[in-house]
Amino acid sequence: MKALVVGGSGYSGGELLRILRGHGKVDSVEATSRTYKGKPVSDVHTNLKGICDETFEEYDAGKADCDIAFLALPHGEGMEHAPALLQKGIKVVDLGADYRIKDAAVYERYYGKHKNPELLSKAVYGLPELFREKIRKAQLVANPGCYATAAILAIAPASKFKDKIDAERIIVDAKSGTSGAGVKPSEFLHHSEVADNIKAYKVTGHRHQPEMDSIIGQLIPHASVSFTPTLIPVVRGILSDTHMFCKLTLDDLKRQYSEFYGKERFVRIVENVYTKNVLYSNYCDISVHLDDEKGRAVIVSAIDNLVKGAAGQAVQNMNLMMGYGEAEGIDSLPYHP
């Protein structure tokens, strides 16, 4: 099987190349990059020196010859390429935001005008734990945002308790490492500015909020998610606290969360959530807490933003779309320490 990574020089692209390289069903991987065309992949991803020394190509839809294409591009660029690829019968997983939000008006408010809004209804939201069957049949999968993955997996099981939670006031307070902000140098992400620092940013108005609302709204009518991220001086990892006021016992919650994810390979219900327990793996760890006195449930979830929050989940989606084992190529285990 042939895979194509469009935009292979960023962090998600690099992680994709790394994973696909070791994937038993993938015979060849081609990577494109406008900036680095003609240069060896391992000049950019120096971890792959001697392993992935092929050069980046320039993307050319006409010549694209593959079974599946991953679009690892800045928001707004994926939609320039998806239609042509789909027309050639190539399956597409977009790691950007272009097909995550069904409502074109909402998309436009947060990202700008959509170029092919007719595809929005055809795209499947690529969160396998919730939409596995649809993904199997999809031609176009919108890979979820990293924050959205952590938040939605934390909230989804609570959909059982629609009437017992204050669904209109769900608060997601997420802490993320810097790799989620990408490979491009800036003052905001300069080491001396980030290290030893905890930085508030996009305290309100983050683009993943409508994405959470869109998906959670399908599970819990009238639900409304309020989202705030914080930049933490680590490279990888998101730890997300979801605060929900409710009339439930801790037992109710724990039982439901354990059942909901009982058969999932990549979701673990644990006592204590630490990002390091999931880094470099496709796992999402979740813990369930209740403040009896206040009637507040807290669901803590953690993922590696570049694996379960991007490239790993993209390959999980590919595995479903292509009929492979769901964990193929993404079964590596997290590390200690």
Burial of 124 (0-12, 13-18, 19+ CB in 10 A): buried
How far lies 129's CA from each of 154, 261, 284, in Å?
A: 11, 8, 11
Verify binding: residue 137, a second copy, rule CB under 8 A.
no
Residue 190 as a binder of a second copy (CB under 8 A): the answer is: yes
Q: Which of 60, 63, 113, 186 binds a second copy (CB under 8 A)?
A: 186
Element (H, E) at 183: none
Closest contact distance (angstroms) between CB of 328 and a second copy is 14
Nearest approach in angstroms of CB 149 to a second copy is 16
Instruction: Tell me how far apart the alpha carbons of residues 40 and 54 are, in angstroms, rounded to a whole number.
Output: 5
Binding mask 160-179 for a second copy (x = CB under 8 A): ------x--x-x-x-x-xxx
Q: Which two tokens stand for residue 41?
A: 């992949």
Name the minimum Å distance from CB 202 to a second copy. Answer: 9
Task: Pick between residue 275 and residue 313 the one whose CB is nearest to a second copy.
Answer: 275
Beta carbon nearer to a second copy, 121 or 249: 249
Residue 105 in contact with a second copy, rule: CB under 8 A:
no
d(CA 121, CA 123): 6
Would you count residue 189 as binding a second copy (CB under 8 A)?
Answer: yes
What is the size of the binding site for a second copy (CB under 8 A)?
83
Angle at 284 between CA 282 and CA 127, to 5 degrees: 75
Q: How far apart are CA 150 and CA 74, in angstroms?
A: 21
The footprint of a second copy on residues 239-298 (CB under 8 A) is: 239, 241, 243, 245, 268, 270, 272-280, 285, 287, 289-291, 294, 296, 298
Q: Which is nearer to a second copy, 105 or 195 (CB)?
A: 195
Asked if 323 touches a second copy (CB under 8 A), the answer is no
**Sign (positive/negative) of CA torsion 151, 157, 162, 166?**
negative
215 near a second copy, judged by CB under 8 A: no
Kindly state the smallest distance separating residue 119's Cβ from a second copy, in Å: 26
For a second copy, which is the closer residue by CB, 34 or 169?
169
Residue whose C-alpha is closest to residue 79's, from 58, 63, 64, 101: 101
Strand partners, 54: none
| 194 sits near a second copy (criterion: CB under 8 A) | yes
Integer Cα distance of 149 and 126 in angstroms = 10
Q: In this structure, what token pair is assigned to residue 335?
A: 């590390």
Smaller CB separation from a second copy, 79 or 147: 147
Among residues 89, 185, 262, 323, which is the contact residue for a second copy, using CB under 8 A?
185
181, two tokens = 């902000």
- What residues numbered 11-30 form the site for a second copy, per CB under 8 A? 11, 14-15, 18, 21-22
Whether residue 131 contacts residue 152, with contact meaning beta carbons closer than 8 Å, is answered with no
Which helix (H) or strand (E) segment holds residue 27: the answer is none
Choices 63-71, 90-98, 114-122, 190-198; region in contact with a second copy by CB under 8 A: 190-198
* Catalytic center residues: 146
Q: How far apart are CA 68 and CA 65, in angstroms?
A: 9
Contact 42, 48 (CB under 8 A): yes
Q: Does 129 bind a second copy (CB under 8 A)?
A: no
Q: Which stretch binds a second copy (CB under 8 A): 72-80, 84-92, 154-162, 220-228?
A: 220-228
